[in-house]
Amino acid sequence: MKHWRYFLPLAVFVAFIGVAAWQLTRPRDDFVHSAMIGKEVPAFDLPSAVGDRPGLSTANLKDGKPKLLNIWASWCIPCAAEAPQLARLQEAGATIVGVAIRDRPEDVAAFLDRYGNPYARIGRDDLSKVQLSIGSSGVPETFVVDGNGVIRYQHIGDVRPEDVKLLLSKLEEAKR
Amino acid sequence: MIAELGLAALWLAAALAVLQLVFGTIFTFKSAEKAEFSQIVRPAAAMQGVLCALSFLILTWLFARTDLSVKLVAMNSHSMKPMIFKIAGTWGNHEGSMLLWVTVMAMAGALIALIERRLPERTMMATLAAQAFVGLGFYAFLLFSSNPFERLDPPALEGMGLNPLLQDIGLAFHPPTLYFGYVGLSVAFSFAVGALLTRQVTPDFARAMRPWVLGAWIFLTVGITAGSYWAYYELGWGGWWFWDPVENASLMPWLAATALLHSVSVLAARDALRAWTIMLGVVAFSMSMVGTFLVRSGILTSVHAFAVDPERGSFLLALLAIYIGGALLVFAVRAGSVTEGERFSLVSREGALVVNNVMLSAILGVVLLGTLYPLLTEAFDVRVSVGPPYFNPVSAIFALPMLLVMAVGPLLRWRHDNAKRIRPELILIAVLGLVTLAGVVAFAGIAVLPTLGIALAVVVIVASVMPLRGRKLRLLPLATWGMVIAHLGIGVSLLGMASETAFTQEKLAAVKVGDTTQVGPWTIKLDRIDPVAGPNWTALEGVLEASYRGGKPVIIDPQSRNFWSPPQETNESALITRWNGQLYAVLGREAGEGRWQLRLWWKPLVTLIWIGGMMVALGGALALIGRVYTDLRRRRVMRKAVERRSEASA
């Protein structure tokens, strides 16, 4: 081919069409998954977000018992929607610790009065620092953390009734 | 009835496009036997323009009256919306904007069919056939997958509103402006394909194509500049460019059009760079289409929320494959037979333009790669987001040398020049650049890119007026004025960008009513918080007294607005513009204990960014007027000459 270079633009374009067509046919996953799964939670020490529950630090997550780490806020409507499911998880024996994002103590107290309080501890994360450091990009999110403080699983969005079983089995796995 | 009339007009226009395509193609390949076929192509193109315009006016009418029996109106409008936004709502949605696209395209087709007479008839017919071919895809898209006139039975009781962020005068004119640009490039595309098919890549072809490229480029420049300012004051983030996929989708055609604009001038003046010009003609419109595809198909995520629909995405991709693939195939097969044309030495006007073209293309490649990179890595299950840390330095690698060449290029002569001839100018530019550089490094101590940016901006500003030296300003052609002003605008804009990047001061404060805070040279007092209400929103308005270096206070009132249909919260920023910069204020939430969050920026020289952008567009407009005027005069002289010759021989 004498003028092969004139075919270069066409070749680049064909490659683009290929990638784009392949992308279009794939189901889209709009969730941004945490890059921290399988890693240890970064060190933090949050003060208490509400009077009757202690704050949360990395040490609390490394006490040998797997836990659910729930990222939530009183101003978040899906968080209210998932409250009954969290209560069921707690009844089933799960230890749930919370991180309240950009919240005020009085609002947190009002929320817990109204929707119940499944949390053993609630840390106060006013600048979303801890939230971002564990790779959560929204509220609510629920992480399964094993007894050594390693993130094993991430659930994005509110916990629906059908998710309860899966989360309990992930907790069970984290014991091993 | 009215909606059906609009739909009928659209179908008729599509039928005419079929006619135009078939007859134009037959003429292109069998012009000897089917000479009469050309008679039908031009009227078909003209009528298409009329029918599309009618169809678009009807849709506008439906929106103005808020006809809720039309699905599109019910989904996107609201009877309580101010009239201007009802009308802007016509193109503020997928279907309406596609209809606008088709309409502008059909009207451009009508215009070339009616006025363009200097090219060989075969090339013209091939061009119009190509234009019809591209048009048909969009007609099919509209009629089969995005019918704007679809009815809703029973009619809705009330419309579903319009995104409140989009209820802004900027929106009313920003997308149409970009569309005019994209569609102008479609004309250049058709010209390029027509010229390739008939192997008529001549200076005449370049002159016929140039006004369309220039026109498209002016609209793109205005569209990008206005869009950037709109994002700046409306989004309330204080930024003016985010390298968002949608912004890149408008920047890429602009870069290609800028390169094309310069290479088409070389072709018109010197009959050189033939294949390269054709290639850019194809690429410029391709970039418009790729951009449209990327943002409309939803395969890239963007702050610009467009209705995302995989079916539409597939449709657009198919159109893309046919048009761009087809044109690039014709290019691959035919370009070899289009000889490169006249030669020139590296140190010459052409040489500088070639360097500029290569650099622009490289920047285009950088932006394209950055925009598509997330798509590529997803193929390997890696999620990445590409942002300023990539785009800024990597595009600067090419932009900085390009701007240097831009400063020097206009001083060079066509074909062959000697650097010694312009040595005094070169020395002046170099000294100026180095002194500024040293000054900024010594006194400001800012990051590398803005430092280089400021020095380069000074160089460009001074160098771009140099072509005026020693010339009678009154006799200078308009096109030259255009070039000088456009290049000057680039320098001005660059100065604004560098200054904003380097010297912006930001303050996030929680302020009680009556308290003051500082940002840069400004003292700002929160006077009070007032509730205010608009036609479809309520807001809290912060009344601020801002005083510059203790001077007389100026009142500004940023708002935090709540729209109720659909419910959404937005921030209306408030600005104070001075000659040396802007104060930018945003009111945030209540921070508790009677304190309010205030976000304040002092942005020195930021307005130069958009002033420069408008200067670039103004330069383009002057060049366009100058070129069209010269062309008309040239044609008149030619006609007279022909008449005289025929008189003499009679």
Q: Does one domain contain both B222 and B281?
A: yes
Confidence of residue B161 (pLDDT cuts 50, 70, 90): low
**Nearest alpha-carbon partner for B506 in B560, B582, B561:** B582
Q: What is the mean pLDDT of residues B620-629?
A: 93
| Nearest chain A residue (CA) to B590 | A104
Q: Does one domain contain both B271 and B374?
A: yes
Q: What is the mean pLDDT of residues B250-271?
A: 92
**Residue B433 within any structural domain of the chain:** yes
Residue B588 touches chain A, beta carbons under 8 Å: no
Q: Does one domain contain both B405 and B514?
A: no
B161 vs B141: CA distance, rounded Å: 25
- A interface test, pick of B280, B324, B361, B385 with most A CB neighbours within 10 Å: B324
Q: Cβ contact (<8 Å) for A24 and B328?
A: no
| Nearest chain A residue (CA) to B334 | A6
State the nearest Cα–Cα gap between B93 and chain A, in angstroms. 22
Query: What pLDDT score does B301 carry?
Result: 58
Mapping DSSP onto H, E and C, the string for B548-566 reads ECCCCCEEECCEEEEEECC
State the nearest Cα–Cα gap between A27 and chain B, in angstroms. 10
Q: Which residues of A touch B (CB under 8 A)?
A: 2-3, 6-7, 9-10, 13-14, 16-17, 19-24, 28, 30, 32-33, 104
Q: Which residue has the higher pLDDT, B258 or B75?
A: B258
Q: What is the mean pLDDT of residues B611-626?
A: 95
Q: Cβ contact (<8 Å) for B283 and A9?
A: yes
Q: Cβ contact (<8 Å) for A13 and B372?
A: no
Write out pLDDT tens, residues B294-320: 877 766 655 444 445 667 778 888 988
Length of chain A equals: 176
Residue B144 gets which letter from DSSP? Answer: I
Query: What pLDDT score does B565 carry?
Result: 60
Contact indicator for A166, A160 with CB cutoff of 8 Å: no
Highest mean predicted confidence (pLDDT) among B22-26, B91-95, B590-594 = B22-26
| Nearest chain B residue (CA) to A27 | B310
B60 vs A132: CA distance, rounded Å: 46
B223 vs B178: CA distance, rounded Å: 5
Measured in whole angstroms, the distance separating CA B594 from the mean position of its chain's CA atoms is: 45
B144 by Cβ neighbours in 10 Å (0-12 / 13-18 / 19+) ranks as exposed
Question: Across the strands, what pairs with B544?
Answer: B526, B556
Q: What is the mean pLDDT of residues B450-462?
A: 93
Residue with tokens 């609002």: A107
**Residue B246 within any structural domain of the chain:** yes
As a dihedral over the C-alpha atoms of residue B58, residue B59, residue B64, residue B66, rounded to 10 degrees, the angle is: 120
Query: What pLDDT score does B305 carry?
Result: 47
Q: How many CB atoms lie within 10 A of CB B489?
A: 26
Contact indicator for B620, B217 with CB cutoff of 8 Å: yes
B232 vs B225: CA distance, rounded Å: 11
Question: Across the strands, what pairs with B559?
Answer: B541, B572
Length of chain B equals: 650
Residue B155 touches chain A, beta carbons under 8 Å: no
Q: Cβ contact (<8 Å) for B331 and A16?
A: no
- Structure-block tokens of residue B447: 């990051």
Q: Does one domain contain both B239 and B364?
A: yes
A169 vs A45: CA distance, rounded Å: 28
B341 vs B273: CA distance, rounded Å: 7
As a dihedral over the C-alpha atoms of residue B445, residue B550, residue B605, residue B506, rounded to 10 degrees, the angle is: 60
Question: Which residues, 6+ apart, have CB-to-CB distance to B85 below 8 Å?
Answer: B162, B167, B172
**Residue B174 within any structural domain of the chain:** no
B15 vs B595: CA distance, rounded Å: 65
Question: Could you tell me whether strands B554-556 and A151-156 are parallel, antiparallel, or unpaired per DSSP bridges?
Answer: unpaired
Which domain covers residue B26, as residue numbers?
1-167
Write out pLDDT tens, residues B333-369: 888 777 767 778 888 888 899 999 999 999 999 999 9
**Residue B176 within any structural domain of the chain:** no
State the nearest Cα–Cα gap between B217 and chain A, in angstroms. 23
Question: Which residues, 6+ apart, have CB-to-CB distance to A132 below 8 Å?
Answer: none
Q: Does one domain contain both B539 and B566?
A: yes
In degrees and rounded to multiples of 5, residue B181 shows phi and psi of: -65, -50
A64 by Cβ neighbours in 10 Å (0-12 / 13-18 / 19+) ranks as exposed
**Residue B588 within any structural domain of the chain:** yes
* Amino acid present at A157: G
| Nearest chain A residue (CA) to B371 | A16
Q: Does one domain contain both B485 and B534?
A: no
Residue B89 gets which letter from DSSP? Answer: G
* Chain B (335-394) residues lying within 8 Å, Cβ to Cβ, of chain A: 335-336, 372, 375-376, 378-379, 383
Candidates 3.40.33.10, 3.40.50.300, 2.60.120.620, 3.40.30.10; correct CATH number of A45-175?
Answer: 3.40.30.10
| Complex ipTM over 0.90 | no
**Nearest alpha-carbon partner for B509 in B496, B499, B519:** B519
Question: Across the strands, what pairs with B507?
Answer: B600
State the nearest Cα–Cα gap between B314 and chain A, in angstroms. 7
Q: Does one domain contain both B587 and B564?
A: yes
**Residue B587 within any structural domain of the chain:** yes
Q: Cβ contact (<8 Å) for A3 and B325?
A: no
Q: Cβ contact (<8 Å) for B379 and A22?
A: yes
Residue B92 gets which letter from DSSP? Answer: S
Query: What pLDDT score does B13 carry?
Result: 96
**Nearest alpha-carbon partner for B210 in B188, B179, B186, B183:** B188
Q: Cβ contact (<8 Å) for A9 and B328?
A: yes
Write out pLDDT tens, residues B474-495: 888 899 999 999 999 999 999 9
Asked whether the whole model's pTM tops 0.90, one would answer no
Residue with tokens 């890549």: B201
Q: Does one domain contain both B312 and B442?
A: no
Q: What is the mean pLDDT of residues B546-566?
A: 84
Contact indicator for B178, B213 with CB cutoff of 8 Å: no
B486 vs B482: CA distance, rounded Å: 6
Q: Cβ contact (<8 Å) for B375 and A24?
A: no
Give the mean pLDDT of chain B. Answer: 87
Q: Does one domain contain both B297 and B320?
A: yes
Contact indicator for B596, B526 with CB cutoff of 8 Å: yes
Q: pLDDT tens for chain A, 176 residues: list them.
A: 457 788 888 888 998 888 888 877 766 555 667 778 888 888 999 999 888 889 999 999 998 899 999 999 887 778 888 999 999 999 998 999 999 988 888 888 988 988 889 999 999 988 888 888 888 878 889 999 998 999 999 888 888 888 899 999 999 888 87
Query: What pLDDT score does B163 carry?
Result: 60
Residue with tokens 């003209």: B46
Q: Does one domain contain both B50 and B163?
A: yes
Q: Cβ contact (<8 Å) for A6 and B336?
A: yes
- Chain A residues inside the 8 Å CB shell of B290: 16
The stretches of B78-168 forming alpha helices (DSSP H) are: 83-88, 94-115, 121-140
Q: Cβ contact (<8 Å) for A13 and B328?
A: yes
- Chain A residues inside the 8 Å CB shell of B314: 24
Q: Does one domain contain both B512 and B496?
A: no
In degrees and rounded to multiples of 5, residue B575 shows phi and psi of: -125, 145
**Residue B364 within any structural domain of the chain:** yes
User: Is pLDDT of B252 > 90?
Assistant: yes
State the nearest Cα–Cα gap between A80 and chain B, in angstroms. 20
Q: Cβ contact (<8 Å) for B372 and A17?
A: no
Contact indicator for B82, B37 with CB cutoff of 8 Å: no
Q: Does one domain contain both B130 and B231?
A: no
Lowest mean pLDDT among B46-55, B383-392, B487-496: B383-392
**Residue B186 within any structural domain of the chain:** no
Facing B321 at nearest CB: one of A7, A17, A33: A17
Q: Cβ contact (<8 Å) for B325 and A32?
A: no
Q: Cβ contact (<8 Å) for B375 and A19?
A: yes
Residue pairs between chains A and B whose CB atoms are closer than 8 Å: 59
State the nearest Cα–Cα gap between A94 and chain B, in angstroms. 32
| Nearest chain A residue (CA) to B325 | A10
State the nearest Cα–Cα gap between B336 and chain A, in angstroms. 6
Looking up residue B66, the CATH number of its domain turns out to be: 1.20.120
Q: What is the mean pLDDT of residues B205-224?
A: 93
B588 vs B398: CA distance, rounded Å: 40
Q: Cβ contact (<8 Å) for A3 and B335?
A: yes
Give how many domains chain B has, as a whole number. Answer: 4
* Chain B (275-294) residues lying within 8 Å, Cβ to Cβ, of chain A: 275, 279, 282-283, 286, 290, 293
Facing B376 at nearest CB: one of A3, A13, A19: A19
